[in-house]
Amino acid sequence: MQGISPEMKITDILEKYPGALEVFTANGFPATGKADLLRQVGPLLTLKTALKLKGLNP
C-alpha cells in the first residue's frame, strides 16, 4: 500500500483520502475548504509546495 508522498498533487491526496480535507483545514490550509480555489490550484499544487508556502518542512 502506497501512502501520501510530498510529490502528490493536493487533489490526488483528497481523492484518495477524503478525510485529509479536515486535516489540511485544521492545520492552516483554509483554501482546501474553498471548492473553486481547490479546483483551480489543487491539480497543480503538490503537497511539498503547499508545505513550503506555509514555511513547513516536507
pLDDT along the chain (58 residues), means of 10: 87 91 83 72 88 85
Number of structural domains the chain divides into: 1
Is residue 15, in this structure, part of any structural domain at all? yes
pLDDT of residue 49: 92
Nearest residue to 46 via CA among 18, 3, 5: 5
Is residue 58, in this structure, part of any structural domain at all? no
pLDDT of residue 58: 73
Domain housing 16: 10-53
Alpha-carbon span 38 to 42, nearest angstrom: 5
Residue 50: Cβ-neighbour burial (10 angstroms; 0-12, 13-18, 19+): buried
Is residue 3, in this structure, part of any structural domain at all? no
Is residue 20, in this structure, part of any structural domain at all? yes
pLDDT of residue 7: 96
46 by DSSP, 3-state: which? strand
* Alpha helix positions (H), 1-58: 10-16, 20-26, 35-41, 47-53
